[in-house]
């Protein structure tokens, strides 16, 4: 049966065209005040706010320029191997844009020579046009599901070759776009090609009007292992001793309470397990530490440089860029954003390091990947704190079982690669065609 978005009346479709015009007016009028407010609360970099208005803070380099846009940390990290391969030709540069302060910090640390970072302009026509007129990219690659209407429509209007790569579109998002099929078609038809992470996503994109869609897998499957400071890892392991680790990685609000419930159940059973919580947003560390202390746990916070000792029961790892350390210190990990309706965080990061994966019911962001990994493990999906406790208890009691699952899931993760080569091939083809026109 062919996949179709939910139909709507012509009257509603016409209203949505009007809504796009209203959207443009609202963004033009309100974006300056919105940016100032976000800067006041730390969600924007005040020193680089002009970039969000489309004003560059770095000179455009001479020669071909490839523009890659990824919304936040996960997307920007996924494209680093792509950036490296594209820069193997010495005459070109890569511009990476993101929209979050955290991603900008990571890009400053990890982008190679001839790659530069700017904040993406807000989605107002004037800001986008200033950005495009200055940078004049020869190719634009949008990563995953970042579909800002003005950014995409204006890029197409300027004749820049445009591809959606590493594309994902959840069933929920597909249903939402089904209420605006003409708008979806108008936006998606701007892309010359779309590389989808799995077959389900490809079908959804095609149903909404995307053309030249093919399945290539996820760039994250081709990403190198998360980095680690070996000295810091040795120090953590020294403080850990022989205790097993219950790692809850990339957690969101509402999940830490469940993790701490499981930690309480483990303690009541007499287990000496260390619970490590790595919040998706490190700024929540104090809040999580206070919550754990209120439950009677002995807590240490990494951001405060508090030592891990034999008496520490809950360790809050509220720093940036150290998740690779904690995955290497654990045999299994609960991957957050999945016990609450967020859609899940990247399970390939632990899987690639041979760490068994546990997820909740909400994994729409990585459905195909999660299915492949959990099929390899045969277990790993939990829907309640009781189920999470049962699985954590099993894997801490029988570490050889966790080791077996980790081996299986690492092999499964390795089989999901290939997106990097496909994306490079598409990029080179589009650049060559653009150069001939």
Return all residues near 181 (Cβ < 8 A) that are at least 6 apart: 5, 7, 8, 13, 208, 209
CA dihedral sign, ordered 97, 282, 287, 335? positive
Q: Tokens 């708008």 sit at which residue?
A: 183
Q: How far apart are alpha carbons 238 and 233 in whole angstroms?
A: 9
* Token reading at 225: 């292992």
Asked if 285 contacts 303 with a C-beta cutoff of 8 angstroms, the reply is yes
Phi, psi of 155 (to 5 degrees): -65, -45
Q: Tokens 């494209």 sit at which residue?
A: 79
Q: How far apart are alpha carbons 43 and 30 in whole angstroms?
A: 17
Closest CA to 393 of 311, 221, 273, 308: 273
- Establish whether 51 is a catalytic residue: no
Closest CA to 114 of 135, 140, 91, 133: 91
Return the exposure string of 179-213: e unless at least 16 CB atoms fall within 10 Å of the residue's CB, then b.
ebbbbbbbbbebbbbbbbbbebbbbbbbbbbbeeb
* Token reading at 364: 């729409």
Q: How far apart are alpha carbons 81 and 111 in whole angstroms?
A: 10
* Token reading at 127: 């800001």
Instruction: For the beta carbon of residue 264, count every other beta carbon within 10 angstroms.
Output: 17
Identified catalytic residue from 44, 51, 75, 364: 75
Residues acting as catalytic residues: 75
């Amino acid at each position: 049966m062919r996949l179709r978005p939910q139909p709507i009346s012509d009257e509603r479709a016409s209203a949505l065209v009007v809504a796009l015009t209203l959207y443009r007016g609202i963004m033009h009028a309100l974006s300056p005040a919105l940016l100032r407010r976000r800067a006041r609360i730390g969600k924007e970099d005040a020193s680089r706010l002009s970039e969000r208005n489309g004003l560059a803070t770095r000179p455009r380099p001479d020669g071909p320029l490839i523009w890659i846009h990824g919304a936040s940390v996960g997307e920007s990290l996924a494209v680093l191997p792509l950036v490296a391969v594209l820069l193997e030709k010495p005459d070109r540069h890569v511009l990476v844009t993101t929209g979050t302060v955290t991603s900008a910090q990571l890009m400053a640390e990890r982008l190679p020579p001839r790659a530069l970072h700017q904040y993406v302009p807000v989605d107002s026509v004037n800001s986008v046009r200033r950005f495009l007129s200055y940078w004049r990219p020869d190719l634009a690659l949008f990563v995953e599901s970042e579909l800002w209407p003005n950014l995409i429509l204006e890029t197409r209007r300027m004749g820049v070759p445009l591809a959606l790569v590493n594309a994902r579109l959840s069933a929920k998002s597909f249903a939402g776009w089904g209420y605006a099929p003409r708008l979806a078609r108008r936006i998606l038809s701007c892309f010359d090609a779309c590389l989808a992470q799995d077959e389900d996503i490809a079908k959804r994109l095609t149903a909404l009007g995307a053309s030249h869609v093919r399945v290539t897998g996820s760039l994250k499957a081709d990403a190198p292992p998360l980095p680690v400071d070996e000295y810091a890892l040795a120090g953590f392991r020294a403080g850990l001793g022989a205790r097993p680790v219950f790692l809850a990685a990339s957690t969101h609000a509402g999940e830490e309470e469940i993790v701490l419930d499981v930690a309480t159940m483990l303690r009541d059973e007499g287990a000496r397990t260390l619970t490590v919580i790595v919040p998706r947003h490190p700024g929540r560390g104090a809040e999580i530490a206070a919550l754990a202390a209120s439950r009677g746990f002995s807590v240490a916070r990494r951001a405060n440089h508090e030592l891990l000792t034999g008496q520490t029961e809950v360790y809050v790892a509220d720093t940036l860029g150290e998740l690779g350390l904690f995955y290497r210190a654990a045999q299994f990990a609960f991957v957050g954003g999945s016990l609450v309706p967020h859609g899940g965080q990247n399970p390939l990061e632990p899987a690639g390091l041979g760490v068994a994966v546990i997820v909740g019911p909400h994994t729409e962001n990585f459905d195909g990947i999660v299915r492949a990994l959990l099929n390899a493990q045969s277990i790993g999906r939990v829907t309640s704190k009781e189920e999470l406790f049962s699985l954590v208890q099993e894997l801490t009691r029988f570490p050889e079982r966790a080791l077996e699952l980790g081996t299986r899931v690492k092999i499964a993760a390795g089989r999901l690669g290939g997106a990097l080569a496909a994306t490079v091939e598409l990029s080179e083809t589009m650049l060559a065609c653009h150069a001939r026109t």
